[in-house]
Amino acid sequence: GGDRDVQTLLWRAELFLDKYDPGHAGEVVALAVKAAPQDARVQVMRAKVNLANSMDFKAADKNVNAALKTDDKLAEAFFVRAGLALRTMDLSRAEAAAKQGLKTDPGNLELLSVLAAARFLAEDRTGFSKIEESVLKINPTYSRFYTIVAEFAEWEHRYEDIVKLTRKAVAIDGRDARAYATLGLNLIRNGEEPAGLKELRKAWRRDKYNVRVYNTLELYDGPIARDYVTVEGTRFRIRYHKGDKPVLERYLPGLLNRAWSTMVERYGFSPKRP
């Protein structure tokens, strides 16, 4: 029946979003909107796609409000509303949204995870651990808990924390390809490229459809391996295009060193090297 068809479309859209393919997710959602424009679940998926495609907070907020107008107990809508607030570090609004959803669905693991993310960003380690414990009590292999928290930690560029979180994720569920992908990408962001690529290959072995993993591996196995050379041994690890290196190496190290000295003096902080 119609309702089953809509549910199938929503699952398809979720799959595309999960693989970092918001373009195709948008196409599928458009079909769902056509089939059931008033369906609250469709409105929530529109919100997710608006965020993934263009970070359109205003549109996403409108979608969530429309969903809750139709179904004021829909947990997914409260999850997106809480996420919108977390992205602007409005922690109290995020927690209020999550708690409102938990009133009708107290065991909802996504809502508990977003609540934990708020505690994490508030630097409340005790509060975070408490929720972590209760989530894993309900489902000991719910690795998505860590990838949800990591997603919001990424907004605050907490890459080292994300590495710790996703290591916990793969420890409780060795099949979680998305967790391996998040771990690998954040190791690369931390400058640990060989380790990061190793985790990305694990992600790829478990899931051949993640667009971000595919593109990153293609980049490292193709152009970077073929056309670039890396110079170590200074404050900076510099990757030059082979053709540009003779010119750039005359100017770049000096420029970077001057910037380093100025910034260290200005901020009274020395970053880790390289």
pLDDT tens sequence across 62-82: 999 999 999 999 999 999 999
Smallest CA-to-CA distance from 176 within 145, 134, 153, 221 is with 145
What single string gives the DSSP state of each residue in 164-228?
HHHHHHHHH-TT-HHHHHHHHHHHHHTT-HHHHHHHHHHHHHH-TT-HHHHHHHHHIIIIIHHHE
Instruction: Determine phi and psi for 14, rounding to 5 degrees.
Output: -60, -40
Q: What is the pLDDT of residue 1?
A: 53
8-state DSSP, 233? S
Residue 194's pLDDT band, with cuts at 50, 70 and 90, is: very high
Is the confidence at residue 271, as pLDDT, over 90?
Answer: no
Q: Is the peptide bond before 274 cis (omega within 30 degrees of 0)?
A: yes
Least-confidence region, from 24-28, 232-236, 249-253? 232-236
Q: What is the pLDDT of residue 273?
A: 83
Reading phi first (left if > 0) and then psi (alpha if -120 to 50, else beta), residue 232 is in: beta
Q: How far is CA 40 from CA 32, 69, 81, 160, 195, in A?
A: 11, 8, 14, 37, 42
Is the confidence at residue 3, as pLDDT, over 60?
Answer: yes
Query: How many CA atoms lie less than 13 Å away from 172 in the CB half-sphere?
Result: 18
Q: What is the pLDDT of residue 2?
A: 60
Burial tier of 55 (Cβ tally within 10 Å: 0-12, 13-18, 19+): exposed
Least-confidence region, from 150-154, 210-214, 230-234? 230-234
Is the confidence at residue 182, as pLDDT, over 80?
Answer: yes
pLDDT tens sequence across 30-69: 999 999 989 999 999 999 999 998 899 999 999 999 999 9
pLDDT tens sequence across 100-135: 999 999 999 999 999 999 999 999 999 999 999 999
